[in-house]
Structure 1
Amino acid sequence: MRLLVLGGTQFLSRAVAAEAVRRGHDVVCANRGQSGTVPPGVTTVRWDRDQPAPAELTDGDPYDAVVDVARTPSHVRRALAAVPNAHWVFVSTISVYADHGDPAGPGEGRLLPEVTEDLDPMASLENYGGMKVACERLVLEAVPSAAVVRPGLIVGPGDPSGRFAYWARRSTATGDVLAPGRPQDLVQVVDVRDLAAWVVGLAEHRAGGTYDGIAPERPFADLLAACLPDARLVWVDQEFLQAEGVEPWSGPDSIPLWLPRPEYDGMLAHDAGPALEAGLEPRPVDATTRDTRAWLDADPAARITGITTEREAELLARWRAQP
């Protein structure tokens, strides 16, 4: 298979390119060359997607498949115009859903209004999710066959968000660790390598359909037990954390992966069944934790988000001092 990966220098797109090379495919990565390096064994074409596609991209043998992770509608339009006849796998996001309390799955009535302009995706969830909705539609309407994958929280070595890394860093802890919210709250993660392998498989088989690209949900207590097997988890309720100014999800003042309930009951509780039936094979969380910890130990520049251990100790002391 001759595969075009739009990107190939960061996290998921890089993992896709690496997996495709490992399987013996002819892989071309098109990118600006400013965000990292491509895996060994790929051919690189320089392309700033604010500009028309260079002739180097389209000269030569046709592509059998394209993998695109773009979030900007104009970038997707230019890529579709350049490679209109290949099978496409477009990587979207669960942020396309309008109601994160509802994990019910695909359906036009549950999607955000599409945003066809090129806006700042980091300015709001509506911008990011709405532009991804528009990108999905562009792909599905333009090419003869396509799959749309909507991942949830992607984790593992190389994760630029630092969210799962917060817990992987603590994986050898033996003392008290603050666990946010309720033990039974559902969460989902998917290892970047498992997602990449599945995306390559969808390209190989020219598979169609729209999927939530996520591993099965599990109670937060089970995930943290897999991440921190020797720690003593101290569960602290969300009302206390919110009153103390702790942020959810990500950021320097956050406890990562924690989400307010019930408004986010569905965000990390999507139905993984269709993705599993279509070939996604998630590995155990403890394996992802071990490999993420090894990456953190080997790369001093690896990002970790979340509160400091000093702030955590302060919160635990205040929690225990309550009447």
Structure 2
Amino acid sequence: MTDVLILGGTGWLSGRIARRLLVSGSTVMCLARGGRPSPEGASLVLADRDGEDAYDAVSGRDWDHVIDVSSNAAHVAAAVASLGDRAHRWTYVSSMSAYSDDDTVGADETAALHAPAETADDEYGRQKVAAENAVRALGDRALIVRPGLIVGEGDPSDRFGYWAAAFLRAEDAPVLLPPVEGRDVQVIDVEDLAEFIATTTVTGVINTIGDRCRLGDVLDAVRRRAGHRGDTVTATDEWLVEKGVAYWAGERSLPLWLPSGMSGFMTRSNARYHAAGGRLRPLDETIAAVVDDEQARGVDRERRAGLTRTDEIALLQLLD
């Protein structure tokens, strides 16, 4: 039986990792601040990772595997210092945002990274780099995975799911699209990522991301699954920016839309992931799950990314 400690374990991705480990017969303990339950079958230790005693309850024993998903470099460094000597294996979930090169198409894990964070206020990508550096001290016991856009049922970021909601709520009315010509997208289903982290024995650094797809093809597939019967209306980059529509994510955005100069951001190499046996389910399967999930959660709910239908209609009227 494998003893696994997940620093987290109650969130969207980490909860799925915990459940997959439990299915394989592992004993799973989650260390988290609280507020959300641990998956059924996993134990939960409440701890504040800002505290000096954060790991006292779990540092007195050996662990077959420690998994950390934090975006706070100080938390990761403290965990490695407290638990690194007691861990046979360590997995850190980093991010494609660690890369500073967003231009090179097909770049692999050797691409340039951002400078590591020096303060708690430094941005997300730099935090991930500093956290990776702390984990690298564990040598060949460590796996660093760099996912890009993680998608699937229950996605709290609302990015990929926005398009399912947009096509569902419009029904036979128009939907506003960003430019798709020459734009790409890479995604990984949360279940595939959780499976890989829970079962692989490889170490090193791996881009855990899906195959490169044309953005237009992906949006067409979502539209078909959603049964949208209306037209699509494409605006230019310049027009959208002028109207205050944001790239990629966040309030009043068009998710998955990127500046034309970021040609490498969603076209990275996933050869190491494939070589390590990483699974990628058919994209249509993921899209079906996302469309069903958006219908269940409500297409007009408050979202963390995208346009409201009211904003979208107003923009469409300006394009007439």
The TM-score with structure 1 as length reference comes to: 0.88
The secondary structure found in structure 2 opposite 1:58 is: coil
CA distance in 1, matches of 2:248, 2:292: 23
* Deviation of 1:69 (Å): 0.8
CA distance in 1, matches of 2:129, 2:223: 36
* Deviation of 1:249 (Å): 1.1
Whether contact under 8 Å (2:55, 2:79) holds in the other structure is no
The secondary structure found in structure 1 opposite 2:57 is: helix
CA distance in 2, matches of 1:308, 1:70: 30
Tell me which amino acid in the other structure corresponds to 1:210: V
2:15 corresponds to: 14
1:147 corresponds to: 143
2:191 corresponds to: 193
- Structure 1 residues 284-303: Cα deviation after superposition (integer angstroms, max 9, x where no partner): 33322332233334446774
1:255 corresponds to: 254
Q: How does 1:90-129 map to 2 (within 5 A)?
A: 90-103=92-105, 104-107=107-110, 110-117=112-119, 119-120=120-121, 127-129=123-125
* Deviation of 1:158 (Å): 2.1
* Deviation of 1:134 (Å): 1.1
Q: In the alignment, does 2:267 pair up with 1:272? A: no
1:124 corresponds to: none
Q: Which runs of 5+ in 2 are unaligned?
A: none
Whether contact under 8 Å (2:3, 2:28) holds in the other structure is yes
Residue among 219, 222, 226 paired with 1:227: 222
Tell me which amino acid in the other structure corresponds to 2:280: P
2:240 corresponds to: 241
CA distance in 1, matches of 2:108, 2:65: 26
CA distance in 1, matches of 2:187, 2:55: 37
Whether contact under 8 Å (2:207, 2:269) holds in the other structure is yes
Higher mean displacement: 47-56 or 89-98: 47-56
CA distance in 1, matches of 2:274, 2:162: 27
CA distance in 2, matches of 1:116, 1:303: 32
Tell me which amino acid in the other structure corresponds to 2:194: A
Whether contact under 8 Å (2:151, 2:187) holds in the other structure is yes
- Structure 1 residues 106-152: Cα deviation after superposition (integer angstroms, max 9, x where no partner): 236x11111143x135xxxxx21112111111111135411111111
CA distance in 1, matches of 2:133, 2:16: 25
* Deviation of 1:54 (Å): 4.2
The TM-score with structure 2 as length reference comes to: 0.88
Higher mean displacement: 299-308 or 237-246: 299-308
Tell me which amino acid in the other structure corresponds to 2:152: G
1:4 corresponds to: 5
* Deviation of 1:12 (Å): 1.1
1:182 corresponds to: 180
1:157 corresponds to: 153
CA distance in 2, matches of 1:64, 1:143: 16
Percent sequence identity is 34
RMSD of aligned Cα (Å): 2.1
The secondary structure found in structure 2 opposite 1:258 is: coil
Whether contact under 8 Å (1:7, 1:68) holds in the other structure is yes
Higher mean displacement: 240-249 or 308-317: 308-317
